[in-house]
Structure 1
Amino acid sequence: MKIRKQLPISALIAASALISTQAMAEVFVAPFGGYSFGASDFSITDEKTDELGSLKISESNHYGFMAGVTTKDPGDIYFLYSHQGTELRSGGSFSPNVITDLNVDYFHLGGSLYFPNGNLKPYVTASLGLTQMRPGDNYSTESRFSMGFGAGIEYQMTEAFSLFADARGYATFVNSSSALFCDGGDCLWSISSDIMWQGQANLGVKLKF
């Protein structure tokens, strides 16, 4: 008889814990905009002339959004998309001019950990995913694995609305034995860089549902 009484109680406790956990999780969207800066150079060799030089992604504005769920840590888990419309420039022993327009997109899954202090919530964040570089003028699209990390602060205006600002760094891993930005099967450069670094400064709003 005791076992029969304990089973329903145990099931009720488990169900209550599950409902409580689900109630604490909130879905959110967070559009943002900002400035991308400090992209490191690609050290390159011209495939036709063996001339040494470099390629660099120009600094410019970007925009994007995050979508995810909050956790009870407190923190969140999110998908991040960031888009930058910029230019690919040559440097080094090449003339420092614009080679082509370039779109740089980040597709990342990440998480943040918050340290609440009243309405202010400083946080750290990390993410993993892909960097996609899409040049114009028939050059090939390049997709590479990348990691992101950053820190920021969120100000809670209401239960459902907050403002945030953060700084993020992205490390895109480039295979140093590969060619880059081929044009119709003719690869223009081989690269000797392993990682491309890029920084972002962001401002945005966060809406919870």
Structure 2
Amino acid sequence: MKQLLSWALLAALYPSLLLAAENEGRQPLRWQITPYLGYGSEIQFDGQDDSGNASADAGSLFGLSIGKETADPGLIEVLFSHQKSTLSPSQGTDLNISYLHFAGALIFENSLRPYVGAGIGLSHFSAYDSTTRPSLALALGLQPRLGEHLALRAEIRGYGTFISDNSSFICDPKLCNLYLQGDMVTQAQANLGLTFRF
């Protein structure tokens, strides 16, 4: 009876022992929090017909990502960034640009830990009025580890936001005649942050 119980216990524990053996020598998969600062490129808005064009000036931004490491190795995360930009020509108000994305990255294991990533989510533009539109993103970056619980993160991330015709969030329609056209506006970001792993 004792021998039967021993074999049953070994059979029950076998999957756990096998998983432990497979993960031996690997670093544990951790959660990551990365506050970052960055610089967003200019955004060009094309106006309909003779309504003119407008642009949002390049400028500084801040952001935060929260993610979970995967065994690929990779990362699944939620990212948020925000930028306040001046409009040219002036529309009497600034443009606030925010991105909220669900993203993934594939990391290549070497000392610099380069990665490629993609994301999908929402872009929010707010000036005279506001609009929230779907958007996509692609990223290239590096995440070298400074220790078990700390890493540096540097990346270039490009966003493409799908806009609708006749969008007039930039200015008061009673004071200006800027109605946007086109299917997509794009922006690039250069970001630098510090990753905390726990």
Answer yes or no: same fold by TM over 0.5: yes
Distance 1:18 1:79, change over 3 A: farther
Kindly indicate whether the alpha-carbon contact (under 8 Å) linking 1:55 and 1:89 is maintained by their aligned counterparts in 2: yes
Give the distance between the partners of 2:150 and 2:159, measured in 1 at CA: 27
- Residue deviations 1:60-93, cap 9 Å, x none? 0001010011001111100000010112223xxx
Bigger share in strand? 1
Residue 94 of structure 1 corresponds to none
Q: Any stretches of 5+ residues in structure 1 without a counterpart?
A: 91-96
Distance 1:184 1:197, change over 3 A: closer
Task: Return closer, same or farther for 1:16/1:171 CA change in 2, 3 Å cut-off.
Answer: farther
> 1:179, CA displacement in angstroms?
2.5
Give the CA deviation at 1:185.
8.3
Query: Does the 8 Å CA contact 1:43/1:54 hold for their aligned counterparts?
Result: yes
Write the letter of the residue equivalent to 1:29: I
The one-letter amino acid of 1:31's match is: P
The equivalent residue for 1:44 is 47
Q: Could you tell me whether the CA contact under 8 Å between 1:89 and 1:100 is conserved in 2?
A: no
Once residues 181 and 196 of structure 1 are traced to their aligned partners in structure 2, the CA distance between those partners, rounded to angstroms, is 14
What is aligned with 1:179?
167
TM-score by structure 2 length?
0.83
Task: From 187, 194, 197, give the equivalent of 1:205.
Answer: 194
State the AA in 1 paired with 2:142: I
Q: What amino acid sits opposite 2:122 in the alignment?
A: L
Conservation of the 8 A alpha-carbon contact between 2:51 and 2:179: no
1: CA distance, partners of 2:10 / 2:98? 51
Paired AA for residue 169 in structure 2: F
Distance 1:82 1:167, change over 3 A: same
Contact 1:78 1:111 survives alignment (8 Å): yes
Structure 2 unaligned segments of length 5 or more: list them.
Answer: none
Measure the CA separation in 2 of the matches of 1:98 and 1:190. Answer: 13
TM-score between the two structures when normalised by the length of structure 1: 0.79
**Identity across the alignment (%):** 32
SS at match of 1:181: coil
